[in-house]
Structures are given as structure tokens and as C-alpha cells.
Amino acid sequence: MRSIKNPEERRNEILDVAEMFFTTKGYSKTTIKDILNEVGIAKGTFYYYFQSKEEVMDAVITRFVETGVKAAKVIASDPNLKAPEKIFRIIMAQTPEVGGKEKMIEELHQVDNAEMHQKSLVETILHLTPVLTEVIEQGISEGAFKTPYPKETVEFLLVGSQFLLDEGIFKWEPHDLMQKAIALVHIIETTLGAEPGSFAYILGRYDQSQEGK
Amino acid sequence: MRSIKNPEERRNEILDVAEMFFTTKGYSKTTIKDILNEVGIAKGTFYYYFQSKEEVMDAVITRFVETGVKAAKVIASDPNLKAPEKIFRIIMAQTPEVGGKEKMIEELHQVDNAEMHQKSLVETILHLTPVLTEVIEQGISEGAFKTPYPKETVEFLLVGSQFLLDEGIFKWEPHDLMQKAIALVHIIETTLGAEPGSFAYILGRYDQSQEGK
DNA sequence: TTATTATAGACCGACCGTCGGTCTATAAAG
DNA sequence: CTTTATAGACCGACGGTCGGTCTATAATAA
């Protein structure tokens, strides 16, 4: 059946479906055919919009990261907020679960998805670091933080949190995960020279994910 | 041509060649045929020794990580060494370049190799963390270090250093790389509660890599 | 204004080369 | 003559290509 749509809409349809499959099945285990069947288009149409399977992954990641970065920029440029509050809001804005349209299915532990994980982590670091660094520097001049390497510290913290706390890469027990989150909070506070306990709110996320079970 | 060899030798031949291709071309871009041609064997022989392409990657990584971990264990169990010295030696023992048989070609920037990167990082963390953690704990009781979360701090530092300093993932300029190394040293010292400057030896590696150019 | 033609671009699916993996035959060793 | 090691023909799935079709709409003619 042939149905003609607004190109932008079609493109987003493909992106939506691809994102879903990449997230649930992993990139390499997702077939072009999977996407075609779900969207309801033919091969040719897919390759009319994208040059390769990998280009779709890049587009999915770009779209995904960009959302978080845009939100971060808005928060960062608010002149009425102190640095710690900005950090808090930026972190909260990174997960679409709450802020997004519909709640994402939690059961999808994105196993065996190294390609996507790495690329999205790289993109996140490349685009979110500048925004966060500026906030940290604001915090330093406000006296809330203290570190000689704000940018590099942000990078290290992003890598550490995204990699170590991500379900799907390691298979930590709930208890270990909580322990890591607690340690991470301590490391954040230590490396940023922040008040002990000032980042404890992060733990809220890992509490809840345990309660749900 | 049919040449029969000691199975263990054959297996290692395959592993050697596979490691070379995986490192230079990346895992997914390396073909079974690449390996067959280089080793000089047929498909059947390959699959007589390994069940899948992925199993070869796992074996390559296991062999690679195990070498470093074994060396680390020897160092860690030496009763005559202080903790900081052990750390130094363990870190130095992780890169086969110097300690290995022949010098590895440096030109191979292992691009697009997320699968291997992630797996080897995961393996390294899983197996090297316990050894390093014990040394850190020794250092704490000796008064050289001070942290409430030795294990998690080790994990965090391993992830951060391996990911951020790895050429091939990001494409940092030499200057930026050096800056990150300097920051890493500071972060290590801060999170471990070590004497400032006590980990400065790490910078030696990044100095040299610049001199060579 | 209405009918006709031309063009663009969204869409289709048969086809192709490559790749990971399987299977059976057989040479060598014990 | 049984076991082990090696060979390579073969297979199905997959990513990607290509020639061609369909349709909305703009341009042109009646």
C-alpha cells in the first residue's frame, strides 16, 4: 500500500521506530527489515531518507542528546538560579522519562548495545560538557564549588556516572548499584569541592527504581 | 595445503591475527575471511577452534586483560612494597607496549571499535578492581590514602581514565589530552586522598607521546 | 475556468554482493 | 579403524542498490 506523507513526518516515523528497536534489541541485532515492517514502508523508502543503517543511529542519538542539551542551555542561562540548583535541574532534564510525553517502558535493559552506548556517551560529553562547565564556573565564583579543572572534572563525572550506573553494561545487584550511586555522590562533592550532602538528591532516582520491584 | 599444528599453537595463531585485525580495523569491520587469509587456514578450521566470531573477541580480550591482572596480582602481593609504589607498578604493567615482546605499531588508532572498547573496559574493571582495591585499602591503613569508598573510587577512576584518555574514542588535540591527563592526576589524588603530586608520574606517558611527533 | 501535460519527489520491491556460520568429506595421527 | 584436525562448498540473512512506478501539483493549452 502506498501512502504519501510529509517528508519530515516520515523521517521522524523512521527515527521513532528505529530508536525503539535500537533501544530494545540493540543496534546490531536490529534489522532494516524490522524497521520497514514496523513503519510500513519499503526498502527504497528507507534508503530515500537515510544513506545507511549507521546514519539512522547517528540521527537517533543526535536527536536524543540534543533534547537534553537544549533543556540544559535554557536552565544554564537563567540569571535567577544559583549554580547548584542549575546542576540539579539539568541532571533532571536529561532523562526523558518524567519530562517526556509518555513513560518509557522500563523493562528494556539495553543489553549488548555498545555502539549506541558509546556514541551517545561521546555526544553527550561533547555537547553537554560546555554547558555544565559554565555552570560549575559560575558556582566557583559564587563560592559553592572549588576545583582547578572544572571542564575535565565534568567530563570525568559524566563518563563515570553514565558508564558505571547504566544498567545493561554491567549487571550490578540493586544493592551494589545503590552503593555506587552513594559513592558517586561523594566523588562528585569531593571533586567539585562542594558541600557534603549537597548532591544527595541524586540518590532519589536509585531509591525509586528499587521500590518499584 | 594441509599443515597440521599443535592445537594450542593454532589457537594462538588465530588469536594473534584476530587481535591484530580487531585492533587495526575494528571488530565489526574485520571479516572472518581476513583472519583466514592471514593465518592461512580454511573456514572449517576456524570454526573447529571457535564457535563464533564474538567468541574470538572474548578470547582476545580475556587473554589481554588476564595478562595485566596477573601482573597486578604479583605486584599487589609483594609484602615489601608500600601501596603507592604498588599502584605505580600495576599501572605500568597494564600496557604491554614496553613489557611485551615486540613494540606495537602506534599508528593504529582503533577507530569505530565500540564493541571491543566496552568489553575490555568491562573486563578490566571486573578483574582489576579487586586487586587495586586491596592495595588502596592497604594504603589507607598505612596512612597514604583516605577515602570512604575505595572500591567505587577505583572503578570510577578506571572508567574515566580508560575512556577519556583513549585515542580512538575522542579525537582530542595533543594539548587537550595532556590537559586531561593533568586533571586526571589531580582527580586521582583528590578522590584517593593522596599527597598532591604523588601521582604525577602518570604524566610521563603523555609527555613522551608528544615528543615522538 | 477547465482540461491536459509535465515535472518533482515519495515510494516500491526485485536484485546483488558479502558475511557469519554449517556441513560433509577426508587427510593425518595414533 | 577411531579420533583429531583441516578443507572448502554451501547456505540464508542482511545491508545496500537500482530501475521504475505512482501521485500531487504546477505549467500550459483550450
What confidence tens digit (pLDDT) does each residue in B131-151 have?
999 999 999 999 999 999 999
Q: In A 15-74, which Cβ lie closer than 7 Å to strand C?
A: 40-45, 47-49
CA of A47 to C1' of D19 (A): 15
Residue B87, pLDDT score? 93
Statement: residue B91 has pLDDT above 70: yes
DSSP 8-state symbol, B171: -
- Of all nucleotides, the one whose C1′ comes closest to residue A5's CA is C10
Protein residue nearest nucleotide C26, by CA to C1': B2
Chain B residues within 8 A of A169 when measuring between CB atoms: 118, 122
CB A25 within 8 A of CB A66: no
What's the pTM value of the predicted model, to 2 decimals?
0.89
* Per-residue pLDDT, B96: 61
Torsion on CA atoms B1, B5, B8, B12, rounded to nearest 10: -40
3-state helix, strand, coil in chain A (%, to 5): 70, 0, 30
Distance in angstroms (rounded) separating the CA atoms of residues A63 and A58: 8
Task: Tally the residues of chain B.
Answer: 213
Query: With 60 as the cut, is the pLDDT of residue A12 above it?
Result: yes
Lookup: cell for B96? 604491554
Burial B127-139 (b: 16+ CB within 10 A, else e): bbbebbbbbbebb
| pLDDT tens per residue across span A145-181 | 999 999 999 999 999 999 998 878 888 999 999 999 9
Strands (E), A23-70: none
Supply the pLDDT for residue A102. Answer: 42
Residues B165-190 pLDDT 10s: 887 888 899 999 999 999 999 999 99
Q: Give domain limits for chain A.
A: 57-210
Mean of the per-residue pLDDT values of chain A: 88
Q: Which of B121, B136, B156, B191 to mutate to test the interface with A (most CBs of A within 10 A)?
A: B156
Q: Are B30 and B18 in contact (CB under 8 A)?
A: yes
pLDDT tens digits for range A198-213: 998 888 766 655 444 3
Per CA to C1' distance, which residue is closest to D13? A31
B57-210 placed in CATH 3.20.20.100: no
Q: How far is residue A168's CA from residue B193's CA, in Å, rounded to a whole number? A: 31
pLDDT in the model for residue A159: 95
Segment A55-98, tens digit of pLDDT: 999 999 999 999 999 999 999 999 999 998 999 899 888 876 54
- Cβ burial, residue B180 (10 Å; 0-12/13-18/19+): buried
> With a CB-CB cutoff of 8 Å, which residues 114-133 of chain A face chain B?
114-115, 117-119, 121-122, 125-126
Query: Where do the DSSP E strands lie in A32-165?
Result: none
Instruction: Check: CB of residue B144 under 8 Å from CB of residue B195.
Output: yes
Round and report the angstrom distance from CA (B6) to C1' (C30): 15
